[in-house]
Homo-oligomer: A and B are copies of this chain.
Amino acid sequence: MDRNWDDWWRPSVAVDVALLTVAGESLAVVVHQATQEPAAGKWLLPGTFLHEGELLADAALRALRDKIGVSGHTPRQLRVFDAPDRDDRGRVLSVAHVDLVRADRVEGCTLAPLVGGRAHVPGRQRRMPYEHDDIVQTAVSWARQAYEDAVDPADLLDEPFTLADLRRLHAAVAGEPLPKDTFRRSVTAALHGTGELARGTVGRPAELFRKTPGARRERG
């Protein structure tokens, strides 16, 4: 080493989390209002600085806990945003993360519904600072890909469930209606039916299914 280790310049490293959930018939992302400059009062994604000895994923969980009071599930890294002028306070790299949790775990949070790929925050604010709109877009793409590849990778459904339940979930994630028959055929290989039927519903009762452990969907 030609210099003392401590002499080297180091950037600040933050994590920002797009916490997605299924609200009604579409995806939504949890936002909160910034308390600190330079974005005080603006709606944005929860985030925090990485602490000493902490994993990025753990920092993401801490951000969710401290900023919006939610216990996350399994945050996944998306990518690093490193524009030099992202933050007026100095050079801050942000490692963007996604997480996808059930709606009942974000009760009381402010949800920004996704309208045409952009998060629709309260009030007149159009865009979120710190490239957070880009993070949301990447997060949604990740969620859509995950639900094309697997039946319920985020465990959003309670077992057992009907195919109608599963289809509603997938349609919400995909952001578009899914054909009933094609959808059924695309997922049945990764499910196994319990003999039981749903009760208390109108019309012919649906069979209840469980996920086959380790099975994936073959195609989207």
Which of B1, B5, B13, B79 sits near A11, CB closer than 8 Å? B13
Which of A88-96, A176-184, A201-209 lies at the interface?
A88-96
Report B-chain residues with C-beta under 8 Å of the C-beta of A80. 56, 77, 80, 95
Does residue A65 face the partner (Cβ distance < 8 Å to B)?
no
Report B-chain residues with C-beta under 8 Å of the C-beta of A10. 10-13
CA gap between A50 and B91 in the complex, in Å: 11
Q: A8-B12, A12-B10, A50-B11 are in contact. Are A79 and B82 (CB under 8 A)?
A: no
Report B-chain residues with C-beta under 8 Å of the C-beta of A125. none
The total of chain A residues at the interface (CB under 8 A) is 26
Which of B8, B13, B53, B56 sits near A49, CB closer than 8 Å? B8
Does residue A52 face the partner (Cβ distance < 8 Å to B)?
yes
Q: Is the CB of A56 within 8 A of B77?
A: no
CB proximity to B under 8 Å, residues A42-93: 49-53, 55-56, 77, 79-80, 82, 84, 89-91, 93
CB proximity to B under 8 Å, residues A1-33: 1, 5, 8-13
Q: A11-B13, A13-B11 are in contact. Are A55 and B79 (CB under 8 A)?
A: no
Q: Is the CB of B5 within 8 A of A89?
A: yes
* Nearest neighbor of A9 in chain B, beta-carbon distance: B52
CA gap between A8 and B5 in the complex, in Å: 17
* Nearest neighbor of A50 in chain B, beta-carbon distance: B11
CA gap between A90 and B89 in the complex, in Å: 25
